[in-house]
Amino acid sequence: NVSEWAVIKSQIRDRLGKHLYEKTGRRPMILPIIMEV
């Protein structure tokens, strides 16, 4: 479902961004690309 992908993408972006910020002190641009197989 399209709405579920949007939720998943935003969660990935938020969690990964927080983790990378703690490690590097920077806020990288995160572009999650999810492909259905």
The pLDDT tens digits of the residues spanning 16-30 come to: 999 999 999 998 888
Cα dist from 34 to 7, 10, 11, 27, whole Å: 12, 12, 13, 21
What pLDDT is attached to residue 19? 94
Query: Do 8 and 34 touch, CB atoms closer than 8 A?
Result: yes
d(CA 21, CA 13): 12
Kindly report the pTM of this predicted structure.
Answer: 0.66
The angle subtended at Cα 16 by Cα 30 and Cα 20, nearest 5°, is: 90
As given in the structure block, the two tokens for residue 26 are 């920077």
Q: Where are the domains of the chain?
A: 1-37
